[in-house]
Amino acid sequence: MTTTAPQDTTSVDERRGLGVLGWVVCGGLAAVFAVGWALIFAHVGQTPGISSQTYTWNVRGDNAVEVSYMVAKPKNDEVRCTVDAYDTHLAVLAEQQVVIPRGTARLDRTDTLTTPRRATGARVRDCRKV
């Protein structure tokens, strides 16, 4: 009398304990972590509740640039922003500090910066609570 061993019909992944469900769980966790890191890096360097936006800039010759911008903030905070002009290599040619006092929730403003040579752009940046 001869006996035969039963055939093993499980795949290699199932024998290791990593079936389809395991791959779905691993993929889901990887996606959650990727989205979390993306959100963290998207908000690095920003101050919550303070928003700034450069509307336009106009180069007014070789020694001046005009920049229009907006800063929105909580009404009870005092905020300091930097407005600057830069050249083709993004080297800062001129900058000024702008303080938005308490009691003001939004500031729309246009400034003219005097530069030592021709600027290619201007912006508002680095708005921080004082």
* Long-range own/partner contacts, residues 93-101 (CB < 8 A, 24 or more apart): 93/117, 93/119, 94/65, 94/119, 98/71, 98/124, 99/130, 100/71, 100/73
59-89: pLDDT as tens digits:
999 999 999 999 999 999 999 999 999 999 9
What is the helix (H) or strand (E) element at residue 83, kind and residue range?
strand 79-86
Higher pLDDT residue, 16 or 99?
99
The model's confidence at residue 39, banded by pLDDT at 50, 70 and 90, is confident
pTM of the model: 0.63
